[in-house]
Amino acid sequence: MENSEISNTVLNCISLSEPDVHKSVALLKQACLDSGFFYVVDHGISQEFMDEVFLQSKKFFDLPIKEKMKVLRNEKNRGYTPLLDEILDPDNQVHGDYKEGYYIGVEVPEDDPQANKPFYGPNQWPSDDILPRWREVMERYHNEALRVAKEVARIIALALDLPSDFFDRPEMLGEPIATLRLLHYEARASDPSKGLYGAGAHSDFGLITLLATDDVVGLQICKDRNAVPQVWEYVAPLKRGFIVNLGDMLERWSNCIFRSTLHRVVLDGKERYSIAYFVEPSHECIVECLPTCMSESNPPKFPPVTCAAYLSQRYMDTHADLSSYQNHTKVGSD
């Protein structure tokens, strides 16, 4: 089932406090042309607060399954995703991913007209009696991560020969679909030869992803998905930094000039925690080839698509049908 080689990779590191923006743009552009993965440091989120977010994440995943199932993922993709809920690489995975997760999106009250849109609405929260301050910590992190993502997006815009505020516009990141996902990987060794993965091979759906991890190695990237054999490279965790990768929407926008790279999680038996922050533009945003990325010799490769339609299909393709949890939710709501 697995026909690949494994090595380690080296990523460019972009500092958000770098005064020479041209240097940051050059480093980022090189990374986006090569693999679409890079590190971001000096982002303004303190290590003390990051430690608190990881601690609160662990507290949730340590709860009994009965308690976690009370906030099972709903049709808005908010809440808990159990082990094996997601199957990212059906051609090579025997089961789903050996990870559990928790989705937290942009908080929109139920009586707000915006709540009728996909991926918008009220979040699900564990009881404050069980996890005091949990919601407060996660909402603060959601806001901080969005700030960082917008700073990174400004450098990406410059690297695409666009105005730095291109992605700041209302139809872009002015009203984004931004989703925080807490992740916990079981202390189970992956075995690609048997189709067993912490997370199957996939590319991310949206604009960019910010990933914070603990110190357990597991993330691998494949720069050329069509190579035989595929070459997979480990990405080292970086204390005080984010691992950032481009998503499929940005690859579409850039007409495949910038890369959305295949990645997966392969573990050696150690438990692993990570926190992903997925950033997508507004629902109505039309994702179509940027004027700076097309020419007579390189015409647009993809038809225009709205962000909401594209995301809805991708989530449907990779997550279990919620009706399969009917019996579990009855048990979990006692």
Pick out the chain residues at pLDDT < 70: 1-5, 318-334
C-alpha radius of gyration, the chain, whole number: 19
C-alpha span between 103 and 87 (Å, rounded): 16
> What CATH number does domain 13-329 carry, 2.40.50.140, 2.60.120.330, 3.40.50.1820, 3.10.129.10?
2.60.120.330
How do the domains of the chain map onto residue ranges?
13-329
Closest to 254 measured CA to CA, from 279, 226, 288, 222: 288
Q: Strands 37-41, 13-15: parallel, antiparallel or unpaired by DSSP?
A: parallel
**H-helix or E-strand containing 328?**
helix 326-332
Query: Whole-number mean pLDDT of the chain?
Result: 91
Sorted by sequence, the CB contacts under 8 Å of residue 95 that are 6+ apart come out as 84, 87, 195, 196
Q: Which residue has the tokens 């991560």?
A: 145
Whether the model clears a pTM of 0.85, i.e. scores above it, the answer is yes
Per-residue confidence (pLDDT) for residue 94, from 0 to 100: 87
274-322, pLDDT tens digit by residue?
999 999 999 999 999 999 999 999 999 999 999 988 888 777 776 666 6
C-alpha span between 244 and 163 (Å, rounded): 21
State the CB neighbour count (10 A cutoff) for residue 263: 25
130-177, pLDDT tens digit by residue?
999 999 999 999 999 999 999 999 999 999 999 999 999 998 999 999
Helices (DSSP H) in 62-133: which residue ranges?
65-68
